[in-house]
Structure 1
Amino acid sequence: MSSISDKIKEKPWLGWVLFLGTMGIVFVLGLFASEVTERRAEATVAYAPNREIDQFDPRNSVWGKAYPREYESWKATEDTTFKSKHMSSAREDMLEKNPNLVILWAGYGFSKEYNTPRGHYYAITDLQEIQRTGAPTGPNDGPMPSTCWTCKSPDVPRLMNEKGVAEFYKGKWASKGSEVVNPIGCGDCHDSKTMDLRISRPALIEGMKAMGKDINKATNQEMRSLVCAQCHVEYYFDGSDKSKGKYLTFPWKEGQTVEDMERYYDNLEFKDWTHKISRAPMLKAQHPGYEIYKMGIHGQRGVSCADCHMPYTSEGGVKFTDHQINSPLAKIDKSCQVCHREDAEELKSNVYANQDRVDDLKMRVEPLIVKAHYEAGKAWELGATEAEMKPILKLIRHAQWRWDYAVASHGASAHAPVEMTRVLGSSLDKAQEARMLLARLLATKGFIGEVEIPDISTKEKAQRAIGLDPDKMRETKDRFLKTLVPEWIKKAEERHSKLQPRVEGGDQIPHFEHDTEKI
């Protein structure tokens, strides 16, 4: 067998072919390597901050100078145009849509106003405008504690650093109105030097510790959910230690299921409020998004919150995380279809089908609990004793807690539809058991038949039925928004004007013309 060199001797032109071919391959590989190096350099420049950022600088616009792509996508949360079959990023009045909610929360702030959630951009404005925060006239007035600000702004870790955690929780909500003005943003989740994800709220660290877990050992993928779990969780205000104010606490010591947290609250004999009609010691589920997500298939398989709600996108050849946090269905090609190869419409129909099943069960549970409250109220009216009512009120408490747990987290039917069906099923059972016991008790008091329920067909009628005055609430809220809120913003702008670095065009304090007609 002749060698290549022998062939080249026989055919000299063959050597030139090999030489030129090799040079061509080397040239192409060189271009490819240059392109890769250039792209890597672009990415390095894109993610390298071009200025020093103070970790506790709450101004998202300052962080945005160093990370413009992420900042511009964050600003897009101002957009409220996205709508799907079961959700909208625009604010909708849920009490008007479903007046039963007014009765279920009678005696609690949620009976005054409850809306669909909007983007992080509106965190401060929505809290100022909602009736639940009342209409304070000064720093020591109003129904809500300072703790209510905890999840709304990067001003919170700043204040916690300056004052101390317990000190931050003390006082009224209005006492920090001029201090908490920047909506949820960069400093809530990121380290200013490395942009690594960080936990800025101590309640999550304490909640994990209560379960025997060290949050410092969390992987980067776990952190892509844990930064969300700082706020999208069930919580309560522990007021047992007066020196710590209304201390924000996660009820995770027994675990994170609906039964675990229910047991935790029962052991403490904790209640959020006493129901105005039934006198039941009630629990208000907040928004247990993280706990429910962990119960679903995505959470169990290690898919993070950010994978679906903050999908990767690219611009100018640079890949980055989209900070326009929204429903995955809004950008289904970048979220769901990264893993699921089904047609977009098929994926949507699957989500909607799960939502419909959960919604159907939810709508069956709600009127039963409403009736149970009124029947309990009738039993008290007819002379029922504490001993007679105690087991019934516990069933009402548990039925509504489970219903609320399933509906307070707006994405529950998508995150864990099987678990939500189970939870609502147990709520239905407990509501029916409570009503059965009430029927027997009422019979012993000489009452047979249906307990009369007033006209609660609209939000206003339901609110008046539980003693609220919608006209007065609108009047006092309007005055608060036109007087105290502008003072808060003026003080905040004066404080910002003294901060360095200065930001051209202002410091992005959202200041909207409040639409008081809709409040």
Structure 2
Amino acid sequence: MKKSPIIFTLCVLVTVPMVLLTMSIRENKAEQQAIGAVPAIKENETRASEWGKHYPRQYDTYMQTRKSDEIGDVLKDDPAIVVLWAGYAFSKDYNKPRGHYYALEDNINTLRTGAPVDKKTGPQPTACWTCKSPDVPRLIKRDGEMEFFTGKWAKYGDEVVNPIGCGDCHDSKTMKLTLTREHLKRGLDAEGSLKVADITHQDMRSLVCAQCHAEYYFKKTEWEDKGEKKTAAVVTYPWAKGFSPEQIEQYYDGYGFTDWTHQLSKAPMLKAQHPDYETFVTGVHARNGLACADCHMPYMREGGVKYSSHKVGSPLDNIGNTCLNCHKGTEKEFKETVELKLARKNELARQATDILARAHLEAAKAWELGATEEEMKPALQDIRAGQWRWDYAVAGHGAFFHAPEETLRTLANAISKGQDARLKLRIVLAKHNAADYVAPDFSTKEKAQTLIGLDMPKLIEEKKTFLNTLKQEWFKESEAKGLYDPASRKDMVLKTSY
């Protein structure tokens, strides 16, 4: 009889945890089912906070990209770059990328987009909005791709008002990853190694990123709208011959394409945008089947719920949950390895910018002394090729980690091409009695911008006027239309490098 209470107690001790565990499992399953159910999000919804009502964990992590808010002035760090981009908008203002939360804000605030006063003024085309907002695919659906890519950047200032968000990558009806930019589909089919029809889910976990993180140019395309002839600047991926810098260069050379003619050297220049996808696919991570999201959007767990973090940023911010899933060693050891790789890349990149800047200035002197086009052409082609390789290697900000060997190879070739240009220019200068020419000082951002003739006070004053007038009007108008999401600018503070 004495055993009964003991047995009863043991049964209770075993049964209660099992009941609690069963209840917990049921609750987790119910939550997972609720998450798996497709919510009613209206088509073309561009406000991330509306999606966040159904996916709070993903939205909360996305909003954490606000923490990546510091401005890193690239031109101040390496003033030679100002000389490299003389005559091009990047010589005015170029900063390291911040979090997705700031993508639209930084596009509006940069000196590169100028200071328009209405929808038809300013230096840039509408294509400069392409990667900054889910409002872009909405507008392309509404107006058509050709119309979207026609006109000035300011044309859509009161329509493109929500930063990179859910609608850039997800189908609102199914929640599946989807490609919202047709130029990526055309680029893939032109390159040929991965046809759109053969894309897998794992492929999509990189390709939704490649819609923006890739090299592109604005292809001038003639079209007709109700009898009116127009010209669209269509975002185009130059992948028809492959992804390497040499293959893309071959595409541009065959097409006869030039981004701009250099203000000093008169070289026909190419400007790399951000060839992250191109460098990624050549690296060891891609060869081992990883996708961008594996490292930049790792899976998280909260109770029994598994979801991907949308705090898109450097994997080094979360090494234990990203890199060390595959790599051995401690976080400290891993970070030291990465810092060494970055230092090597930076060393070669600085050598390349110094050499190329001096080549541009030496070419300018040769022109000043009366050099002929025939004398200058070989050196100018080397400048074009060298700067393209340098830009390709550094414009993809994670290239040194995506494909370190390829990045170092490309920078080495940039240095070689730059030196070839300088040797040829020395011969030209000697012919014109200037063999001892020494390039002027460009050791600070201010000296370099003055050297290439930029009136920075005027540019800054014009920009401030725009920021205090037309920019404010854009957001008021978009709010009246029901487009603007105030949550997308919560606690945002104006930060620039000028």
TM-score tier, shorter chain, comes to over 0.9
Match of 1:194 in 2: 174
CA root-mean-square deviation: 2.3
Pick one of 26, 29, 46 that aligns with 1:40.
Answer: 29
Match of 1:308 in 2: 295
After superposition, residues 220-299 of structure 1 pair within 5 angstroms as: 220-241=201-222, 243-299=230-286
How far off its partner does 1:512 sit?
4.2
After superposition, residues 313-392 of structure 1 pair within 5 angstroms as: 313-392=300-379
Pick one of 471, 478, 493 that aligns with 2:479.
Answer: 493
Deviation digits for residues 147-193 of structure 1, max 9, x if unmatched? 00000001001100000111101110011000000000000000112
Please tell me whether the aligned partners of residues 101 and 488 of structure 2 are also in contact (alpha carbons under 8 angstroms).
no
Aligned to 1:276, the other structure's residue is in SS state coil
Match of 1:430 in 2: 417
Query: Structure 1 473/510 Cα, relative in aligned 2: closer, same or farther at 3 Å?
Result: farther
Alpha-carbon distance between aligned partners in 2 of 1:292 and 1:223, rounded to the nearest angstrom: 17
Aligned to 1:320, the other structure's residue is in SS state strand
Alignment partner of 1:458 is 2:444: yes
After superposition, residues 212-227 of structure 1 pair within 5 angstroms as: 212=192, 213-227=194-208
Q: Which amino acid aligns with 1:222?
A: D
Match of 1:126 in 2: 106
Alpha-carbon distance between aligned partners in 1 of 2:92 and 2:305, rounded to the nearest angstrom: 46
User: Which is bigger in relative contact order (C-alpha 8 A, separation at least 6)?
Assistant: 2
Deviation digits for residues 463-505 of structure 1, max 9, x if unmatched? 11111011111100100000000000000110117x9xxx9xx
Alpha-carbon distance between aligned partners in 1 of 2:221 and 2:102, rounded to the nearest angstrom: 32
Alpha-carbon distance between aligned partners in 2 of 1:76 and 1:507, rounded to the nearest angstrom: 13
How far off its partner does 1:68 sit?
0.8
Please tell me whether the aligned partners of residues 83 and 91 of structure 2 are also in contact (alpha carbons under 8 angstroms).
yes
Aligned to 1:324, the other structure's residue is in SS state coil
Alignment partner of 1:477 is 2:463: yes
Alpha-carbon distance between aligned partners in 1 of 2:153 and 2:454, rounded to the nearest angstrom: 22
Alignment partner of 1:105 is 2:85: yes
Q: Which amino acid aligns with 1:175?
A: K
TM-score by length of 1: 0.88
Q: Which amino acid aligns with 1:478?
A: K
How far off its partner does 1:268 sit?
1.1
Query: Structure 1 485/345 Cα, relative in aligned 2: closer, same or farther at 3 Å?
Result: same
How far off its partner does 1:32 sit?
6.7
Q: Which amino acid aligns with 1:311?
A: P
Pick one of 62, 65, 70 that aligns with 2:53.
Answer: 65
Aligned to 1:488, the other structure's residue is in SS state helix
Q: Which amino acid aligns with 1:460?
A: E
Alignment partner of 1:444 is 2:434: no
Between 208-217 and 218-227, report the one with greater CA deviation: 208-217
Please tell me whether the aligned partners of residues 125 and 512 of structure 1 are also in contact (alpha carbons under 8 angstroms).
no
Match of 1:18 in 2: none
Alpha-carbon distance between aligned partners in 2 of 1:92 and 1:44, rounded to the nearest angstrom: 43
Q: Which amino acid aligns with 1:119?
A: G
Please tell me whether the aligned partners of residues 181 and 509 of structure 1 are also in contact (alpha carbons under 8 angstroms).
no
How far off its partner does 1:340 sit?
1.8
Alpha-carbon distance between aligned partners in 2 of 1:442 and 1:414, rounded to the nearest angstrom: 40
Q: What 5-or-longer segments of structure 2 have no aligned partner?
A: 1-9, 224-229
How far off its partner does 1:460 sit?
1.6
Alignment partner of 1:144 is 2:144: no
Alpha-carbon distance between aligned partners in 1 of 2:222 and 2:356, rounded to the nearest angstrom: 33
How far off its partner does 1:366 sit?
1.3
Alpha-carbon distance between aligned partners in 1 of 2:446 and 2:33, rounded to the nearest angstrom: 57
How far off its partner does 1:202 sit?
0.8
Match of 2:75 in 1: 95
Please tell me whether the aligned partners of residues 58 and 187 of structure 1 are also in contact (alpha carbons under 8 angstroms).
yes
Between 307-316 and 395-404, report the one with greater CA deviation: 307-316
Match of 1:17 in 2: none
Alpha-carbon distance between aligned partners in 1 of 2:25 and 2:278, rounded to the nearest angstrom: 41
How far off its partner does 1:278 sit?
0.4
Q: Which amino acid aligns with 2:188?
A: M
Between 24-33 and 303-312, report the one with greater CA deviation: 24-33
Alignment partner of 1:174 is 2:160: no
- Which structure is larger by alpha-carbon Rg, 1 or 2? 1
Pick one of 176, 190, 199 that aligns with 1:210.
Answer: 190
Deviation digits for residues 237-271 of structure 1, max 9, x if unmatched? 01143645101000000100010000000111111
Between 401-410 and 236-245, report the one with greater CA deviation: 236-245
How far off its partner does 1:312 sit?
0.6
Alpha-carbon distance between aligned partners in 1 of 2:353 and 2:253, rounded to the nearest angstrom: 22
Identity of aligned residues (%): 48
Aligned to 1:56, the other structure's residue is in SS state coil
Deviation digits for residues 250-309 of structure 1, max 9, x if unmatched? 000010001000000011111100111100000000000000011111011111100000
Alignment partner of 1:77 is 2:77: no
Deviation digits for residues 22-79 of structure 1, max 9, x if unmatched? xx99999998776555433321213324x41123111111111111110111111111
Alpha-carbon distance between aligned partners in 2 of 1:47 and 1:112, rounded to the nearest angstrom: 48
Aligned length: 482
Alpha-carbon distance between aligned partners in 1 of 2:93 and 2:179, rounded to the nearest angstrom: 31
Query: Structure 1 165/356 Cα, relative in aligned 2: closer, same or farther at 3 Å?
Result: same
Alpha-carbon distance between aligned partners in 2 of 1:454 and 1:300, rounded to the nearest angstrom: 46
Aligned to 1:332, the other structure's residue is in SS state helix
How far off its partner does 1:455 sit?
2.7
Alpha-carbon distance between aligned partners in 2 of 1:165 and 1:96, rounded to the nearest angstrom: 38
Deviation digits for residues 116-141 of structure 1, max 9, x if unmatched? 10011111110111000001111100
Please tell me whether the aligned partners of residues 481 and 514 of structure 1 are also in contact (alpha carbons under 8 angstroms).
no
Aligned to 2:35, the other structure's residue is in SS state helix
Q: Which amino acid aligns with 2:35?
A: A
TM-score by length of 2: 0.92
Match of 2:41 in 1: 53
Please tell me whether the aligned partners of residues 154 and 188 of structure 1 are also in contact (alpha carbons under 8 angstroms).
yes
Please tell me whether the aligned partners of residues 71 and 495 of structure 2 are also in contact (alpha carbons under 8 angstroms).
no
